[in-house]
Amino acid sequence: MDFHDSPQETAFRAEVRDFLRRELPQRGGIDPYAGFGGADFYLQFMDKLAARGWVAPAWPKEYGGAGLSVVQQFIFNQEMATARAPRPSPIAVGFAGPTLIVHGTEDQKQKYLSEILSGRVHWCQGYSEPGAGSDLASLQTRAVHDGDDYVVNGQKIWTSLGHLAKWMILLARTDPDAPKHRGISYFVLDMKSPGVTVRPLVNMAGTHEFNEVFFEDVRVPRENLIGEENRGWYLAQTTLSFERSNIGSAVGQQQIVEDLIRVAKDPSTAGMRMDGINHAVRTELVDRYVETEVATMMSYRIVTMQARGLIPSQEASAAKLFSTELNQRIYRTAMKVLGPYGQVLGRSPAHALLKGQVAYMYLRSVANTIEGGTSEIQRNIVATRGLGLPRN
């Protein structure tokens, strides 16, 4: 198997690198506090991506994408991660848009996709509820026919980017008498609709990423139903497969491990006054290095499937499981390599290495194995769909 770029892919990689060198001359690290919205730099950079069709490079040309291959998209993602570039809205581009491409009507695609490709619009995902997380099909939010609309009542929780989003992909129960998986429908909901209330939740890393969202007699036009009524569960699975394929970033993981190796060789390169690492930490670093290579191979597998027009299912679950648990191991190792320096949280203190990314990610990575479905759920999926083991 040859993982090297073809001549065409080499040229594309050079084009992306050149663009990033020009447009991101000063960027040298992720700022976990910058958030997604608002900042002028972010919006200007999105405009530059949009001008090239690079907000979602692999989307079809007829909907405003650049029509690039999935492999080119992968190369693009690698270069963006290597340059630590700001990314377009992860939900809009990563899984709401791709689900609409598969399941939306022509009118729905025309309406939503070109707007997503501007890079300026956020979406959120209204799946989880206080009583429905892993057992998502138990969700209780109701959508009831009324004239040309559905009327929605209920509550969602852990809604990432709900405070910034223009649109939500919403799962709501349309038939309370059907078996639980068969009475759910999939909608696009305008977050500015009367009756929608968004309340912030702050995570343990101190950032406001997710929210509670309440619906009180919210009217959703019938044309916002995606797919068939009561078949939303199957669309929700498509979305989750795209989401799980996207959660772990093997390139980002390789970068942080490389940073740690550099610091372990010579702490003074990071301005640290401390002794080198001990034997146990050295061994851990080797393990993390090997594991990031494995994570990279797993992401190649996903890309290869997508390039063949397949939607990864248990493969996405296996990759999500491995890369999110790896993320936690990486930041535990990072804490040992950086010692007290690793614990400085916040962007301004002089000793916050990598803009406080290690302390932030040490805390934030706990959530990686919960969001998009917990590790236990991914193991269940791999066990049943992947290995054919019995449900217990």
Give the interface with ligand FAD as residue ranges (CB under 6 A).
124-125, 127-128, 133-134, 158-160, 210, 367, 370-371, 373-374, 376-377, 380
Q: H or E stretch including 140?
A: none
| DSSP 8-state secondary structure symbol assigned to residue 271 | T
Q: Based on CB atoms, which residue is closest to ligand FAD, 259 or 371?
A: 371
For residue 232, the tally of other CB atoms under 10 A from its CB is 29
Q: H or E stretch including 337?
A: helix 314-338
Q: Based on CB atoms, which residue is closest to ligand FAD, 274 or 363?
A: 363
Strands (E), 4-50: none
- 153 - beta bridge partners? 142
User: At closest approach, how far in Å is the CB of 77 from ligand FAD?
Assistant: 21
Q: Based on CB atoms, which residue is closest to ligand FAD, 131 or 340?
A: 131
Output the six-digit token pair for 182: 């068969």
In angstroms, the Cα distances linking 301 to 100, 168, 314 are 24, 30, 12
Q: Where would I find the H helices in 24-124?
A: 40-51, 70-82, 90-91, 97-103, 106-116
Output the six-digit token pair for 338: 């950086």
Selected catalytic residue, list 79, 129, 243, 371: 243
User: At closest approach, how far in Å is the CB of 128 from ligand FAD?
Assistant: 3
315 catalytically annotated: no
Q: Based on CB atoms, which residue is closest to ligand FAD, 154 or 373?
A: 373
Q: Based on CB atoms, which residue is closest to ligand FAD, 203 or 296?
A: 203
Output the six-digit token pair for 236: 């929700």
Alpha-carbon distance of 95 to 373, in angstroms, equals: 14
User: At closest approach, how far in Å is the CB of 289 from ligand FAD?
Assistant: 27
Q: Where would I find the H helices in 177-313?
A: 232-247, 250-265, 279-307
User: At closest approach, how far in Å is the CB of 122 from ligand FAD?
Assistant: 11
Q: Which residue is nearest to ligand FAD (CB)?
A: 133
Q: Based on CB atoms, which residue is closest to ligand FAD, 74 or 123?
A: 123
CA dihedral sign, ordered 317, 323, 327, 333: positive
Evaluate whether 134 touches 192 at the Cβ level (below 8 Å): no
User: At closest approach, how far in Å is the CB of 240 from ligand FAD?
Assistant: 9
Alpha-carbon distance of 137 to 134, in angstroms, equals: 9
**Span between the terminal Cα atoms of the chain, in Å:** 38
User: At closest approach, how far in Å is the CB of 368 from ligand FAD?
Assistant: 8
Q: Looking at the annotation, which residues are catalytic?
A: 243
